[in-house]
A and B are shown apart, each in its own frame.
Chain A
């Protein structure tokens, strides 16, 4: 991924043009992102005294295309003004006969958005009967056909692909994605970013098609040699929950270019969040909020962090902050929903998540969080549906997969649950929670062998120095720092498999953990088990020793005392 270091003035101009191009094509989010990045450049080149005219309407580099654009300029302005007041159909209609690539893009994009709007309208309420796959964007086939003929014409005429076509290709990719035609979409999008790398929207859509590290590595070679690729790789890695040092160093490199970029800092915070280093993530977000209190983007992630840390006052404050900026942003509603969830007011939380979804049906975190709330409210079916929608929106959300698994577990459908836990574990291979859940699932299905494997896998992930899971339990025990609960569970599994010796070893390991975590119920149980085990093996002394410890404190005092009495009677024999 070694990219040559871009020339700063060039990058500066490129980003300026990109902002203008995006906003000209009504890709508001792309424009916003590019402009933000533009303004976070370390040392911007000295400003010229006047702007060249190309800055107002960046014309095509192709003279024929530029002439076309010039001739359609007034029509284009009319269409754009309609677009800006959200009269999509009208805007699209005005550009019906236009030939230039820019006009054609607006024509089709407006049509697409009009279709999306109608789809929203007809899908009615969130999680209602009309919501979901049943309601489709009806403009999609027409747009697809129009784009395909345009591309075919181009091929037929033997014309070169130009920068201007990249936006059409992006639209093509988006439309294909709507039809779940991911491979072709990916191709189109890669082509688009190759033609013009500064359209962040295209990169985002491309990230949506990348389901795993493998996918990312596959397409890496076909990406353009630009700093944008680095940014893309970074954010995709973040979304794939890669939290390694290499990512961090990559991020540091990028921050050298854009030292004030809030977006990059957010990426860093999210990396910490995925690595469960909440304190760091919180402090980064803290600074971000202080430096720009009007920024709402990613506040929902911040609220997730605060939720996990149970910082109620602070979460409330962030909710207040978001509220004063905009009540009708999905992020705001997610933050408020999180706050209510933390206050155990689940009905209200659901209400706010629904609100967020009404504002934006593709709001991933709202779907997942709503699923969590439904689980709390014991409404498993609604929870499953919410998680399902979350997964539909983005297959990389492990929490939704995990939630699905949990919901099915509640419904005692372990086979289903297992599948979802596997998906979750695939996304978060170093998260012990997923593996533990999977192990329990196997246990319930009476497959202790697989359960043991899962639990062992869960052990590794806790420690970054990753000991060999297949090694002997005593070796494991030496290394310390494991969750005694998992060790205990492994032992229980072995016992189920009628391998008591193996079980005894794991029990020992579990008991040994007391040195790290202190006496817990689990270690007590392990000790009790061992005492009985020694009793059976007629190791009276050791049994006596273990039981005596248990008699002093611990949950199973009565049982231990009975054992001691038993031992005494035998000792007298």
Chain B
């Protein structure tokens, strides 16, 4: 068990000495020294933990030294083999300290002249710290530890013997220790002292290395929200197999890992274990962090009440200890939690949350200079505005503020939430192209160093937008491109899987594959942890399914139930409005148009107020449908006609198709009130609308609606008496019907 020193570190120290002795030409200084420093500072990737001679060789073997014909690797080898006994190792460490001396302070002495090429290393530089630390750690070693280090070093150097033999005449298998001159490997004495070395892995890895690896791992996991990659797991296992004492940080890594993989008992256990050890070593100052972790853990596993209690305790402890960073974080978390799960918050908290709202958080964040928190607070503000359906410019202002902070303070991991929120905003404004662009932008430009959760969310959102345009296969393909590493985290996987399920569900519903749809629906609703956006879409798909199967009662019931839940949870007003419209649509489709009218109109006015444009268009569509049922054809037509350009901009294939169908209905209705040429004109327009609706429906593969459109077309052509065209349409109808063989064809549209 080594605390710090390993044979690799000795080799590094030799390199530093060579550098200090000015044995590197200028050209070689940069690559070699940056390699050395990379091993000493905070790790950036996983390659710098177990340092082998091969790695050093790769860097140094091509670098010429100031000695003609020798590479730096040759010099390194020479220095390494000059450490030819236990005592020489000891001397080596003692001598290394001389490079640290400050040249100004040194009194001129006679031995000074020959070292005029020596460069001195400042004791506070990275290299200086390394030299000092190495010296200190060496002098801290007990004799037997030093002996183990020496043994490990002998083994470490062993593979280079053949190279060394070429350079040095008379070097043999026993030249690793000068005391063994004239003996062979089979000598009793050699066996005794060095016999146990073979295959021993002691001291090849130090606690310092393990800690560096674990710290790096924790940092990555916390930043990116992923699990431990297999490669790192392997390295860690390799390190731990060398009898190195396990750092308690290991438990924290275990905790994060099992948390991400959704293993509640073991994450709970690991967290407790970790803090058992930290309590011991770092006093009680970290109690609040233990509680904080616990609260988040419990929330993640759905123990909301427990979680709130733990968080309250966190806040109290943080207040006691005056740990503002923790306190603010906890408050912010509680605020979000309160927003997300108001039903689980005790009244005390809820009322406090009302008081200590965002303003408080913002003020605190500003006061303590916590930029990250401030940026998040602005984002929350924007989100809140969106949820409440308030002023869009205000939302943009908050977004901009957050973005400004992110950019000026280089807060990379807040970038994701900000861009995603922006994308949501655009899609609510009905500019789906921009929303999609935002997601893609984030995916392509910020994929480095962003939390994988944000990345997956962006991917899902982007795929969903594509699927809205009717390109289901492309959307599913896009989803398959997800980083498999990210999916190892349970929460992310669930999110991703629910989006795949949702897209497949919608496709199944449109294709009239009811059995498949039912199955998918069952799977989707069985998982508890579904994000609200997704949950709403699933509900909508369910209602749609129920309507298509003609089960209007169930659809209505479900509609009422969901809207009731939304009201209870004080949920997103966007969701509420969607539900209202859906309700109106159920009424309209079930033939009770009048009942739905007021609901649709109030929904439309709400949507307009909040500028939920796609929803507004849906509402218009429903209203138009109702008006047509009420035989107010011209009003319905005019109303829809005026919004059509914007509807097209929304790029929602289903909405567009429905609008076109509605327009056709309006024209047909108008034709009923007119005579002669004007009637024919109306019918002609209706036909063209039907064609466009048909093409949109065929995008989303909505078989039933396609057939519906064709049947209407057939009837109109029939009325117009154009047999050839009618037959064409009939052929088309048959094609549509046959194209979906084995699929429930649904009720025949001719029944209506």
A340 to B147, CA, bound (A): 13
Stretch touching chain A among B81-89, B535-543, B624-632, B659-667: B81-89
A191 to B177, CA, bound (A): 52
Contact among B94, B147, B177, B188 for A323, CB-based, below 8 A: B147
Residue pair B87, A323 in contact (C-beta under 8 Å): no
- By a CB distance below 8 angstroms, the chain B residues around A327 are 144
Pairs across A and B, CB under 8 Å, 29 listed:
A291-B188, A293-B189, A293-B192, A293-B193, A312-B87, A313-B86, A313-B178, A315-B87, A316-B87, A317-B85, A317-B179, A317-B193, A319-B86, A320-B86, A320-B147, A320-B150, A321-B189, A323-B143, A323-B147, A324-B147, A324-B192, A325-B192, A327-B144, A336-B143, A340-B143, A343-B90, A343-B94, A345-B139, A352-B143
B44 part of interface (Cβ distance < 8 Å):
no
A239 to B597, CA, bound (A): 120
Residue pair B144, A314 in contact (C-beta under 8 Å): no
Residue pair A317, B86 in contact (C-beta under 8 Å): yes
Q: Lowest 3 A-B CB distances belong to which pairs?
A: A316-B87, A293-B192, A317-B179
- By a CB distance below 8 angstroms, the chain B residues around A294 are 192
A290 part of interface (Cβ distance < 8 Å):
yes
Residue pair A289, B144 in contact (C-beta under 8 Å): no
A348 to B143, CA, bound (A): 9
Closest Cβ–Cβ distance, residue B175 to chain A (whole Å) = 13
- Produce 1/0 per residue, A182-208, CB < 8 A to B: 000000000000000000000000000
Near A by CB (< 8 A), chain B positions 165-192 give: 177-179, 187-189, 191-192
Residue pair B179, A313 in contact (C-beta under 8 Å): yes
Residue pair B86, A323 in contact (C-beta under 8 Å): no
Near A by CB (< 8 A), chain B positions 73-121 give: 84-88, 90, 94
Closest Cβ–Cβ distance, residue A416 to chain B (whole Å) = 36
Residue pair A320, B193 in contact (C-beta under 8 Å): yes
- By a CB distance below 8 angstroms, the chain B residues around A313 are 84-88, 178-179
Closest Cβ–Cβ distance, residue A331 to chain B (whole Å) = 14
- By a CB distance below 8 angstroms, the chain A residues around B187 are 290
Residue pair B193, A324 in contact (C-beta under 8 Å): yes
Residue pair A289, B147 in contact (C-beta under 8 Å): no
Residue pair A316, B196 in contact (C-beta under 8 Å): no
Name the residue among A313, A314, A316, A323 with the largest chain B CB count within 10 angstroms. A316
Closest Cβ–Cβ distance, residue A163 to chain B (whole Å) = 39
A352 to B142, CA, bound (A): 10
Q: For B189, give the chain A residue with the smallest CB separation.
A: A293
- Produce 1/0 per residue, A327-350, CB < 8 A to B: 100000000100110010100100
- By a CB distance below 8 angstroms, the chain B residues around A321 are 189, 192-193
Closest Cβ–Cβ distance, residue B152 to chain A (whole Å) = 13
Given contact pairs A316-B87, A323-B147, A352-B143, a sample of 14 additional A-B residue pairs in the complex whose CB atoms are under 8 Å apart: A289-B189, A290-B188, A291-B188, A293-B189, A294-B192, A313-B178, A315-B87, A316-B85, A317-B193, A319-B143, A320-B147, A324-B192, A324-B196, A343-B87
Near A by CB (< 8 A), chain B positions 188-219 give: 188-189, 191-193, 196
- By a CB distance below 8 angstroms, the chain B residues around A319 are 86, 143, 147
A339 to B90, CA, bound (A): 11
Name the residue among B88, B90, B178 with the largest chain A CB count within 10 angstroms. B90
Closest Cβ–Cβ distance, residue A375 to chain B (whole Å) = 22
A320 to B196, CA, bound (A): 13
A348 to B142, CA, bound (A): 9
Q: For A325, give the chain B residue with the smallest CB separation.
A: B192
Closest Cβ–Cβ distance, residue B190 to chain A (whole Å) = 9
- Produce 1/0 per residue, A281-305, CB < 8 A to B: 0000000011111100000000000
Contact among A314, A324, A325, A339 for B179, CB-based, below 8 A: A314
Near B by CB (< 8 A), chain A positions 191-234 give: none
Q: For B190, give the chain A residue with the smallest CB separation.
A: A293
- By a CB distance below 8 angstroms, the chain A residues around B94 are 343
Q: For A319, give the chain B residue with the smallest CB separation.
A: B143
Q: For B148, give the chain A residue with the smallest CB separation.
A: A323
A294 to B193, CA, bound (A): 10
Q: For B196, give the chain A residue with the smallest CB separation.
A: A324
Closest Cβ–Cβ distance, residue A330 to chain B (whole Å) = 14
- By a CB distance below 8 angstroms, the chain A residues around B144 are 323, 327
- By a CB distance below 8 angstroms, the chain B residues around A323 are 143-144, 147
Near A by CB (< 8 A), chain B positions 41-98 give: 84-88, 90, 94
- By a CB distance below 8 angstroms, the chain B residues around A324 are 147, 192-193, 196
A15 to B593, CA, bound (A): 121
Contact among A289, A316, A352 for B86, CB-based, below 8 A: A316
A289 to B86, CA, bound (A): 18
- By a CB distance below 8 angstroms, the chain B residues around A336 are 143
Q: For B195, give the chain A residue with the smallest CB separation.
A: A324
- By a CB distance below 8 angstroms, the chain A residues around B191 are 293
Closest Cβ–Cβ distance, residue A326 to chain B (whole Å) = 11
- By a CB distance below 8 angstroms, the chain A residues around B147 are 319-320, 323-324
- By a CB distance below 8 angstroms, the chain A residues around B193 are 293, 317, 320-321, 324
Closest Cβ–Cβ distance, residue B651 to chain A (whole Å) = 78
Closest Cβ–Cβ distance, residue A487 to chain B (whole Å) = 33
Closest Cβ–Cβ distance, residue A528 to chain B (whole Å) = 27
- Produce 1/0 per residue, B511-554, CB < 8 A to A: 00000000000000000000000000000000000000000000
Closest Cβ–Cβ distance, residue B151 to chain A (whole Å) = 9
Closest Cβ–Cβ distance, residue A303 to chain B (whole Å) = 13
- By a CB distance below 8 angstroms, the chain A residues around B84 are 313
Residue pair A317, B143 in contact (C-beta under 8 Å): no
A316 to B91, CA, bound (A): 11
Q: For A293, give the chain B residue with the smallest CB separation.
A: B192
A304 to B594, CA, bound (A): 112
- By a CB distance below 8 angstroms, the chain B residues around A345 are 139
Known: A323-B143, A323-B144, A352-B143. A316 touches B192 (CB 8 A): no
A319 to B84, CA, bound (A): 16
A343 to B187, CA, bound (A): 29
A291 to B189, CA, bound (A): 8
- By a CB distance below 8 angstroms, the chain A residues around B90 are 316, 343
Near B by CB (< 8 A), chain A positions 471-528 give: none
A327 to B143, CA, bound (A): 10
Closest Cβ–Cβ distance, residue A370 to chain B (whole Å) = 16
Name the residue among B94, B143, B189 with the largest chain A CB count within 10 angstroms. B143
- Produce 1/0 per residue, A394-427, CB < 8 A to B: 0000000000000000000000000000000000
Q: For A290, give the chain B residue with the smallest CB separation.
A: B189
A348 to B86, CA, bound (A): 17
- By a CB distance below 8 angstroms, the chain B residues around A315 are 87
Closest Cβ–Cβ distance, residue A122 to chain B (whole Å) = 28
Closest Cβ–Cβ distance, residue B180 to chain A (whole Å) = 8
A294 to B150, CA, bound (A): 20
A340 to B144, CA, bound (A): 13
A525 to B316, CA, bound (A): 84
A214 to B397, CA, bound (A): 108
A290 to B180, CA, bound (A): 11
- Produce 1/0 per residue, B133-159, CB < 8 A to A: 000000100011001001000000000
A294 to B84, CA, bound (A): 23
Near B by CB (< 8 A), chain A positions 132-174 give: none
Name the residue among B87, B90, B191 with the largest chain A CB count within 10 angstroms. B87
A312 to B139, CA, bound (A): 17
Q: For A352, give the chain B residue with the smallest CB separation.
A: B143
A339 to B86, CA, bound (A): 11
Closest Cβ–Cβ distance, residue B135 to chain A (whole Å) = 12
Near A by CB (< 8 A), chain B positions 325-371 give: none
- By a CB distance below 8 angstroms, the chain A residues around B87 are 312-313, 315-317, 339, 343
Near A by CB (< 8 A), chain B positions 241-280 give: none
Closest Cβ–Cβ distance, residue B176 to chain A (whole Å) = 12
A320 to B145, CA, bound (A): 11
Q: For A333, give the chain B residue with the smallest CB separation.
A: B143
A340 to B139, CA, bound (A): 11
Closest Cβ–Cβ distance, residue B189 to chain A (whole Å) = 4
